[in-house]
Structure 1
Amino acid sequence: MKPHANLWTKTFLGMEELAADPSDLYFGLILRGQGPAPGLEDLRRHVEKRLPLIPALTHVPETRGGRVTWRPDDTFDIADHVRTGQRPEPDIAPQPALIGSASPRPLWGLWLLAGPGDGQWEVCWLGHHAFGDAKAVAEILRVLFGDEEPAATAEPPGGPRHRPLRATVAVGRVLPGLLATYRPSEQWPPMMDPPGAVRGWAHTQVPFTTLRGVANASEATVNQVHLAAMTAALRGLEIENGRRPRGRLQICLPLDLRVPAQDDHVVANHLGLMRVPLPWDLPSPADQLAAVVRATRTRTIERWKRAWREILTNTPEPIGQWAHQRIGHPRNTKLTVSAVNISGSLSVSDSPITEIVPLPWLPPGHACFTLLATYQGITTQSVLTHGGTFAPGRLAALWARALDDLAASFQSGRSPTS
């Protein structure tokens, strides 16, 4: 099965010309295990055996006449994609070291690393964003390392059909939100840093039950609780830096366009973007959550999803490029806040994966990207920053503290509407 290229494939490949470092376009997950480490050759044989279930892994993009397509990789060698590597310092993102040392540079790769603790080891997945989104990565890892019998991956709907009337209606319903991006907003200025600048990286972990408990008590979704905690964390960071949070803070929220039970196994960039105003001018965690809930109602998100499905399949490419720029450009959003859930359990060479740590990417000109991953009851928040922005560990710590404050707020009996 030949992978399907869409607007995002071309967009992410094009970002290579703007990125300060090629590794900025790579993101992934660290799978951490305990006990005897898998052998490199065993890992290669295992992955190679599963390749027929994931056709995308053996294809590469090519551009002809301005059109991007995928073709079989005639020179595919599993040794170019499954390697050993050196773990960098804990507070430095591993992408520059791992991707930079790989020759030839693969579109995706697995690196076998020593873990941070005694008896620990890691398998690190990194993939170029042109290859797929976070849900695609979770699906690939399910097929490669899932404890259940793997099912083959699937492809999203085909290329553009150009049904202008249907697309016009769907896009028209979100047009006010797109046009609103022309108004000035609170932001970090775009930061075009020199090549070789260090990418600061930090992560923190909390029990998933903390988010679920607040969600149940407030009748919010887990993702809304996540956004509310990020609101409080960014507010705290702003105050610590001697600035007063004003108005609403616009962030970029990726949307998974997969239809449940229909597109569950899709491996591709099947996503849209939505700009969300975080209420960081409100001091109360409960009030922040209430405002986030209003801004991210289900019907609002579904309206944006429908629009993006039409943009990807029924509109000329320039319309999609314009919509992406209006939402994703660093002039219009402060940072991107993303999340992924890894369902089931994973193991490598019969050794269970006990922990998963996400590795965000950094769009050109952006100062910060956060990626949340939940696996086996543990939620891990990762923060990646431009070298001159701020200490990512501080934002991660403030996010975890904000969750505790939210939990305490609802344990005391306060509702988000009180």
Structure 2
Amino acid sequence: MRSSTGVPLAVLDRLSLDVAALHATDSALHLGGLVVLEGEPPSRVRVLEHLRRRVGLLPELAHRLSGGPGRPRWEPDPGFDPDRHLYESAGGAGPSALAAELLRQPLPRDRPLWGLWLVRRAGGGRWALCYRAHHAFQDGAAAVATLERLLGPEEAPRGRALTFRPPRPVDWAAVLPEFRPARRVTWWPALDAPPAQAYTAAFADVDMARLHALGRRTGATVPQLCLALTTEVLRALHPDGWGPDGPGHGLALRANLGISVRDPDDPRPHLGNRVAVAGVDLPCGEPDPDERLDRLGRALDHTRLARLADAHRVVLRKLPYRIGRLTLSRSVDARYTPLGVADLRVRRPLGFAGTPATGVYALPVMVPGQPLFVAWVTHRRRLHVTFLADRSLAGAERLPEAWESALVAHERRAEAGAFTRTGSGAGAS
């Protein structure tokens, strides 16, 4: 196929491939979602028939990586066949064991960098479908939109905007301080152990009614509450480190929150990585929970995130790859930004052949050396939280319980009128 049919990789696509090369296995830079359903699993033939019908809605899925290191591009795969992208797994006793298996699965480079796994056992009489893609091939928003088309309602889907908002002139005076390098982290014990670069996942589920009720009492949005609960989880993981005599007292942990910078007129809205990051300081060392929530409300302010998205969109459009490559090592250094967070919203109910999904769990990427990534997915009336941790992180199996305990503690404080109403803003999508 002639190169003229190809689409050159954007800077973020190429940098994602570079980050993947830093890992022991390329699969660490794969992302996607695990969709859990109840009942008996369908046959592979039935899933393949469904997949063949739906991939026509997503022409980007037929693009493969091509070209040499100097001129990589996405080009239509002349041998594209959905059958080569449908895999099977025997599964395991539950989502955690299943995720550990799926996180190791490769995506062959001789075909488009995505796959759908039919998982026959997901614990408790359940089965699952898992969609995974390379982070160079898709970002989180594109992967969610792909899931909605593959497993959403049969009717023709409405177009979904994958941008944070339409581009606007950048207020550079206000946004330039955001580009200052993060402070080096020396007070978090999770960074003391050498990373294993092997990962484990744990999950939590929350009824959205609880979060909405808490939001009404505190004035916080659901993403702000999720960041607050993440902060409480980190405090519980190393309680001595954040106390009055601890090295992190009064300090914060920097987290990267993805924000979309995809152009609204992108002709291939489901292809490529178009996500920049907004730095969010999780105030783990702040002793007052009211102040912690208030700080996170300001960090997740809609105006701030929109302004950052506008600025990153302009910078990335003009950023030469060589410059991006030079800054890569600092941008993925866990000593400066030790964890990632993601807020994902599935706006169309997922299921298969009339069986609704009972859970949708994110499988995020892992930056080399980072001990933890926390991602939450809103689907129907539930919030599904994924804690993806490097196996060197001691106590990672306690994170779901700590999340629930933190939510209960916030509910009790809110009922007692302890929280003042934080500044509200729209969260990232």
- How do 1:275-294 residues align onto structure 2 when only pairs under 5 Å count? 275-294=279-298
Specify the code of the residue in structure 2 equivalent to 1:147. Answer: P
CA contact (8 A) 2:98 2:122 kept: no
Corresponding residue number in structure 2 for 1:357: 361
- CA-to-partner distance for each residue in 1:263-290, whole Å, 9 max, x for gaps? 8993242211011111111233322101
Specify the code of the residue in structure 2 equivalent to 1:54. Answer: L
Corresponding residue number in structure 2 for 1:144: 150
Q: CA deviation at 1:228?
A: 0.9
CA contact (8 A) 1:87 1:94 kept: no
**Change beyond 3 A, Cα 1:303–1:154:** closer
Q: CA deviation at 1:320?
A: 4.6
**Change beyond 3 A, Cα 1:119–1:398:** closer
Distance 1:25 1:411 in 2: 42
2:308 corresponds to 1:271: no
Q: CA deviation at 1:337?
A: 0.9
Distance 2:339 2:122 in 1: 29
**Change beyond 3 A, Cα 1:335–1:156:** closer
CA contact (8 A) 1:185 1:250 kept: no
Is there any run of 5+ residues in structure 2 with no aligned partner, and where?
Answer: 423-429
Aligned to 2:180, the other structure's residue is in SS state helix
- CA-to-partner distance for each residue in 1:349-379, whole Å, 9 max, x for gaps? 2322222122222122222111111111111
- CA-to-partner distance for each residue in 1:218-271, whole Å, 9 max, x for gaps? 222211111111111111111167973321211111113358x87899324221
**Change beyond 3 A, Cα 1:396–1:347:** same
2:22 corresponds to 1:18: yes
- How do 1:366-405 residues align onto structure 2 when only pairs under 5 Å count? 366-405=370-409
CA contact (8 A) 1:287 1:416 kept: no
TM-score by length of 1: 0.85
Q: CA deviation at 1:11?
A: 1.2
Distance 1:4 1:51 in 2: 22
**Change beyond 3 A, Cα 1:321–1:155:** farther
Deviates more, 1:61-70 or 1:374-383: 61-70
CA contact (8 A) 1:254 1:274 kept: yes
CA contact (8 A) 1:3 1:55 kept: no
Corresponding residue number in structure 1 for 2:320: 316
Distance 1:37 1:305 in 2: 41
Is there any run of 5+ residues in structure 1 with no aligned partner, and where?
Answer: 158-165
**Change beyond 3 A, Cα 1:38–1:112:** same
CA contact (8 A) 2:345 2:377 kept: yes
Aligned to 2:342, the other structure's residue is in SS state strand
- How do 1:6-405 residues align onto structure 2 when only pairs under 5 Å count? 6-64=10-68, 66-88=70-92, 90=94, 91-92=96-97, 94=99, 99-100=104-105, 107-151=113-157, 173-181=174-182, 186-187=187-188, 188-189=190-191, 193=195, 198-239=198-239, 244=246, 245-246=248-249, 247-257=251-261, 266-268=269-271, 269-321=273-325, 326-405=330-409
CA contact (8 A) 1:273 1:324 kept: no
Q: CA deviation at 1:146?
A: 1.0
**Change beyond 3 A, Cα 1:151–1:277:** same
TM-score by length of 2: 0.83
Aligned to 2:52, the other structure's residue is in SS state helix
Aligned to 2:155, the other structure's residue is in SS state coil
- CA-to-partner distance for each residue in 1:62-100, whole Å, 9 max, x for gaps? 244623320011232322211211325644463655754
**Change beyond 3 A, Cα 1:319–1:276:** farther
Q: CA deviation at 1:398?
A: 1.4
Query: Aligned-pair RMSD on alpha carbons?
Result: 3.3
Distance 2:65 2:108 in 1: 18
Aligned to 1:313, the other structure's residue is in SS state helix
Distance 1:155 1:213 in 2: 28
Corresponding residue number in structure 2 for 1:160: none
Q: CA deviation at 1:153?
A: 6.7
**Change beyond 3 A, Cα 1:97–1:223:** closer
- CA-to-partner distance for each residue in 1:183-221, whole Å, 9 max, x for gaps? 556555497656xx6422100111112222222222222
Q: CA deviation at 1:181?
A: 2.0
Q: CA deviation at 1:124?
A: 1.1
Aligned to 1:304, the other structure's residue is in SS state helix
Specify the code of the residue in structure 2 equivalent to 1:283. Answer: P
CA contact (8 A) 2:11 2:320 kept: no
Specify the code of the residue in structure 2 equivalent to 1:177. Answer: E
Specify the code of the residue in structure 1 equivalent to 2:417. Answer: G
- CA-to-partner distance for each residue in 1:300-332, whole Å, 9 max, x for gaps? 212211111112223333455567655543121
- CA-to-partner distance for each residue in 1:159-182, whole Å, 9 max, x for gaps? xxxxxxx99x66664332322426
**Change beyond 3 A, Cα 1:101–1:139:** closer
Percent identity among equivalent residues? 26
CA contact (8 A) 1:224 1:289 kept: yes
**Change beyond 3 A, Cα 1:291–1:242:** closer
CA contact (8 A) 1:24 1:95 kept: no
CA contact (8 A) 1:232 1:288 kept: no
Deviates more, 1:347-356 or 1:233-242: 233-242
